[in-house]
Amino acid sequence: MRITSVTGLCALTLVLGVTSASALTLEEVKKQGYIRAATANEVPYSYMQPDGTSAGIGPDVANAVLKSIGITEVNWTVTPFGTLIPGLKAGRFDFAAAEQNISPERCKQVSFTEPNSSYGEGLLVKKGNPKGLKTYADIAKDPSLKVAVVSGANNVDFLRAVGVKDDQIVFIQANADAIPTVQSRVDAYAATELTVSALAKDQANVEQVKPFEDPIVKGAPVRNYGGFAFRPEDKELRDAFNAALVKFRKTDEYKKILIKYGLSEKSIEAAAAKTVADLCAGK
């Protein structure tokens, strides 16, 4: 598969003026010869490698699915997590492959596919976990504690749900800012378990909280379900991609991709057990 990458501010400059005047169809994508996709550059969900090729759960699955429906060229744009939905709505790319959690609020703005992945929550803290944190609720118990979260990430909703106050929350631009932020001005960084695990790997001054207890929201432990996001008006394109995704999820190749990036068999089964309709309805 041919993959063309466009990164950073250059990408935004190149595509800023491109908007969707009408619904984009699969036939139109095939005719133009490529599709535009977005990543938030977050390991292991969706990111660009030093050689300019895409990697991560979202891109690897997306590339396989697109190939199965006759699309062999993907132009990737790197954009901050918080701009994925605004950028998609503005027509700066055709879909987002960043494994965004499928939530009722996001479903009001974009059209998600069926879940592609499932994962829990996590905390990154200073080495030795000096505050003894085991869950998000521990932060709520001490008003002096500060926790960082990526702007636009739904982890902030889980923090608030267990009682963490807004004046305890520090927003950062990207996961790349997490380690220096934890080292200098907050007590923890809240993100998904895979994000935290990847950040903590081989680090001398920070670590992943283990064991960690997922926050309890509405009587149940929080679990994220990542999917691909499309514009609502691009229904035909989204439906074609979604049908191919559902078929691909039944293959060994799909499972190998997710396992390669650290997802367990349990998490893979959890993703398949949920539907986008239920998740958009908050079930």
What class does CATH assign to 121-221? Answer: alpha beta
Tokens of 96: 């987002």
pTM score = 0.76
Q: Which residues of the chain have pLDDT under 70?
A: 1-21
- Give exposure, 107-118, as e/b (b: 16+ Cβ within 10 Å): beebbbbbbbbb
- pLDDT, residue 169, reads 98
Residue 92, helix vs strand vs coil: coil
Residues 6+ apart with CB under 8 A from 215: 121, 135, 136, 137, 158, 159, 161, 162, 221, 222
- Quick: pLDDT tens for 65-99: 999 999 999 999 999 999 999 999 999 999 999 99
* The two domains 2-118+224-280 and 121-221 share their CATH topology (first three levels equal): yes
Give the per-residue pLDDT at 143.
Answer: 97
Per-domain residue ranges of the chain = 2-118+224-280, 121-221
DSSP tag of 185: T
Assigned CATH for 2-118+224-280: 3.40.190.10
Q: Work out whether the CA dihedral 199, 201, 202, 207 comes out positive or negative.
A: positive
User: What's the confidence (pLDDT) of residue 263?
Assistant: 86
